[in-house]
Amino acid sequence: MFDFFWNLGSFIVALGILITAHEYGHFWVARRCGIKVERFSIGFGKTLWRKVGKDGTEYVIAMLPLGGYVKMLDERVEDVPDELKDQAFNRKTVWQRIAVVSAGPIANFLFAIVALYIMYMIGVSSLKPVIDTTRANTPAAQIQLQEPMQIVSVSGQKVRNWEEVNLALVSHIGGTELDISLMPLSLSAQNTSAQEQAQVTTYQLDIRNWQFDPDKESPITAMGLGIYRPGIEPIIALVTKGSAAEMAGLALGDEILEINRQPYQDWNGFVDVIQTSADKDVELTVLRENKQKTIIVTPQAQTNANGETIGVVGVSPTQIDWPESMRFQLEYGIVDSFTAAADKTWQLVVVSFKMIGKLFTGDVSVKNLSGPISIAQGAGTSADYGLVYFLGFIALISVNLGIINLMPLPVLDGGHLLYYFIEVITGKPVPEKVQDIGFRFGAAMLLLLMSVALFNDFSRL
């Protein structure tokens, strides 16, 4: 229950910030164009807070935080006194109207830069993207590894952590090939001059048959790249409450010595035995306070993502700390943070547009669309990790909000812009009847997309 309210609260905060940024873009440019703004509202429905400013604008916070609007004086909507007609939206030039409408999405992109700027100023704890294995029958199978290697670029795009690798790989969905450049981890830990002299090996991967389900795996593992992880000690670090392990008497600090009277080899082997022993007794020999103890545990049967029945006991091992050579703080100075933030925002914009295009070509399934439930979960998870991760999350959502609003659907900003650019070309406004038909079509399409996204959300629960 706490997770639900935490996710909901994080979602409301994130959405409220993004809507405010978007609507303020419309508001600010409208005022600069001499348009009278009657109401600036964050949310819909019943008014929770209201204030009338010295400028005559009514500022409102409403109950439903699922959107917002800027109500401008407009003769198409209501009667306007003669003395105020020069402040009406419809009386402004087509380029002024274009500026007002496009200001919302642009404000979202600018906000993303600001959020990322603060994030880079604070600094983000990151891990170098190091691989130590590749999987057979995948695009990465041709890469031969003799030692852990760090990914330094993907198709010429420099990558510094796993997030950047993930973003670079996603942009190649539906493509035919990509280049991946690797450098020995031992060399990446040295100084900059040594890195420049290091031998970088580049592999060209055939990705024509590369597909992945984002609900089951990441593009990194689907590519066949084995993420390097430090070793695991067979010492129990977590026992889930109410689990088979707790009921059997396993405790924190127990060291696993034997499984069914066979010596412990590695954690993967232990997991294999547990998963294939659903509702069957498994005999464990553990070391507790320098004394050996035999415990019988019965893994509980569960169904995994593939519909298979597996056994689960509810324990986690002790993870060895990441080597210092692999950890770094991704942060910049006052000037460089802005450059990095602008570059990252541009990358997000490009990848997002590519994903929309791939939805239409079929390279990306509509099953990948996410709605408010997934966004709320993402908001809660990122807030759990701290401010810098929450900033990164809302920057991503802000970019997506800006792009969605630029889609040429008449109910969105992009639809209005489409009509205005037609007016620029033809020299006269699009007929009201045509606009009305377009708005109905746009509303139906938007409702369809929202329905698909919500269906996907519920199917993931």
For each successive 10 residues of the chain (461 residues), what is the average pLDDT? 68 84 94 93 88 89 85 88 89 94 95 94 90 90 88 90 88 87 72 57 89 76 88 90 91 93 90 92 93 93 82 90 84 90 90 78 63 59 73 90 87 90 90 83 76 64 57
Buried b (16+ CB within 10 A) or exposed e, 231-267: ebebebeebeeebbbbebebeeebbbeebeeeebeeb
Q: What is the dihedral of CA 189, 195, 200, 205, to 10 degrees?
A: 60
Q: Please compute Rg for the chain using Cα positions.
A: 27
Alpha carbons 290 and 184: distance in angstroms, whole number: 41
Closest CA to 4 of 371, 375, 376: 376
Residue type, 411: V
CATH superfamily of 126-230+321-330: PDZ domain (2.30.42.10)
Angle between helices 413-426 and 432-460 (to 10 degrees): 150
pLDDT in tens, 195-253: 555 588 899 999 988 877 766 778 898 899 998 888 888 999 999 988 999 999 999 99
- The SS3 call for residue 16 is helix
Would you state the pLDDT for residue 446? 74
Is 398 in contact with 112 (CB distance < 8 Å)?
yes
| Partners of 293 in the β-ladder | 286
pLDDT in tens, 377-428: 666 666 666 788 888 889 988 998 899 889 888 778 999 999 999 999 998 8
Task: For residue 426, give every residue at least 6 positions away whose Cβ sits within 8 Å of its Cβ, in sequence order, or none.
Answer: none
Q: Hey, is 135 helix, strand or coil?
A: coil
CB 145 within 8 A of CB 133: yes
- The answer to whether 169 touches 149, Cβ cutoff 8 Å, is no
Give me the pLDDT at residue 215, please. Answer: 66
Domain ranges of the chain: 96-123+333-461, 126-230+321-330, 232-319
Domain 126-230+321-330 and domain 232-319, same fold? Reply is yes
What residues act catalytically?
23
60-71 in b/e burial notation, b at 16+ Cβ within 10 A?
Answer: bbbeebeebbbb
The answer to whether domain 232-319 has CATH 1.10.1740.10 is no
Range list of β-strands (E), 240-290: 255-259, 262-263, 282-288
* CA pair distance 80, 77, nearest whole angstrom: 9
The dihedral over CA atoms of 84, 88, 91, 95, expressed in degrees to the nearest 10, equals 140
CB distance 364 to 173 below 8 Å = yes
The number of beta carbons lying within 10 Å of the beta carbon of residue 407 is 18
pLDDT, position 321? 86
Contact by Cβ (8 Å): 76, 90: yes
∠ CA 158-163-165, nearest 5°, is 45
